[in-house]
Amino acid sequence: MDDQIRRMVKELVGEVEDDWSGPERDPARIDAILSKLREIWMQDPDMRFGQLVYNLYWQMPETRKVGMAGIDIFYVEDDAFERRLTEVANGEGNLPISNSARGL
């Protein structure tokens, strides 16, 4: 029975791999996103990393789910997040700043 299940699973995995035609993401996006993230973070270096990323994501409509109190960043594509970073870096989007950046 175990060999039969293994064969079935292997066959199923092979079919999924054959059918997969999803896009491969460009590795160059990593440096572009990190560069923009660094630029924004340096505007308020006292902000914690998690605080920075959360604040950037929570204003994106892609992170809102009906009936959910928080945000869901799992399915946001990198190009959407990079657009958000560009908006903030260009002064087009608001990014809440930390109390230390306000002088409090």
Per-residue model confidence as pLDDT tens digits over 4-61: 888 888 888 777 666 666 678 899 999 999 999 999 999 999 999 999 999 998 888 8
Residue with the bigger pLDDT between 63 and 80: it is 80
Number of H helices, E strands in the chain: 5, 0
Measured between alpha carbons, how far is 42 from 52 in angstroms, rounded to an integer?
Answer: 11
3-state secondary structure of 79: helix
| Per-residue pLDDT tens over the stretch 82-92 | 999 999 999 88
Instruction: Please indicate, yes or no, whether the overall pTM of this predicted structure exceeds 0.75.
Output: no
Residue with the bigger pLDDT between 10 and 94: it is 10
Tell me the CB-side half-sphere exposure of residue 21, using CA atoms within 13 A. 1
3-class SS letters over 31-46: HHHHHHHHHHHCCCCC
Residue 100: predicted pLDDT:
58
12 CA to centre of own chain = 30
